[in-house]
Amino acid sequence: MDIQTVYDKGIKPVNEDSFLVADPIFGVFDGVSVMEPGAPREDGLTGAAIASRIARDVFASGDGTLIELALRANDAIRKAMEENGVDWKRKTAQWATTATVIRIGNGSFDWLHIGDSVVLVVMNDGSCRILGSGHGQDREVLIEWKKLADQGIENIRAAMSDTMSTARNSEANYGDLDGDPDIERYLEHGTESLEKVRHIFLFTDGLVIPKEDPASDDDLRLFVDTFEKRTLEGLRDHVRTLEDADPKCWKYPRFKQHDDIAAIAISF
């Protein structure tokens, strides 16, 4: 088993994502940026960074099933918010994180997913599939972003602030680990055979290859081919090169020029 990792900061001073390599448990956690100004900070970290690190540390214990660990991480995040005076019931104030975690066993692996981070399985025949849903949940917002980009709007994020806030609060959104006691309804999980598996990727959305049409599906084969030709760091470099050429996020609609990356590639 060969393991590669990439951990790369986006446009903010601190990488709000986290990753875990604690064989047999592997995971990535994408801290969800707090949308309200003046959000509390702890030890210089944002609420998003704190949430992703709490989740990572809970899963690192390995004490329990993946579901039990997710619920424990969720409780720990809620406790941290309460201790810091954050109203965890208000979506735009929450400290929250995605979680995409696997536990490798004898001939199979358990997986758990919440939010929009990705677990991508690649088979020996080259076929690819993403486990769980949530990936692409911002598609409708990015379609509107593209319309404004085509109009040459300079500060699209500011122009869409109300739309993005509404999307964050929408019940249609997939959940995150955000302190909600009812979070189990958002957890997706299962067990998959390792037979004929070539790679398993776990990554936050900063590693997604930018695309011009937000309504289209991601090109998973391009993602895998780039990795196999250039390694995980080379894939990261490819993504950053495309982003550098589009600083206004007009050609490739996205919420910021560079997003944080936490990624693991496991090859068999």
Identify the CATH number of the domain in which residue 226 sits.
3.60.40.10
Average pLDDT over residues 65-72: 98
The predicted structure's pLDDT at residue 38: 59
Q: Are 160 and 145 in contact (CB under 8 A)?
A: yes
Range(s) of the domain holding residue 158: 2-267
Residue 172: pLDDT above 60? no
What letter would DSSP give residue 92? Answer: G
Residue 102: pLDDT above 60? yes
Residue 174 banded pLDDT, cuts 50, 70, 90: low
Alpha carbons 31 and 59: distance in angstroms, whole number: 15
Please give the tally of structural domains in the chain.
1
Alpha carbons 252 and 238: distance in angstroms, whole number: 14
Give the mean pLDDT of the chain.
91
More reliable by pLDDT, 92 or 185: 185
Residue 152 banded pLDDT, cuts 50, 70, 90: confident
Q: Where are the beta strands (DSSP E) in the chain?
A: 2-8, 17-22, 25-32, 96-97, 99-104, 108-114, 118-123, 128-130, 188-193, 197-203, 261-267
Average pLDDT over residues 75-83: 96
Q: In the chain, pLDDT over 90 holds for what percent of residues?
A: 71
Residue 241 banded pLDDT, cuts 50, 70, 90: very high
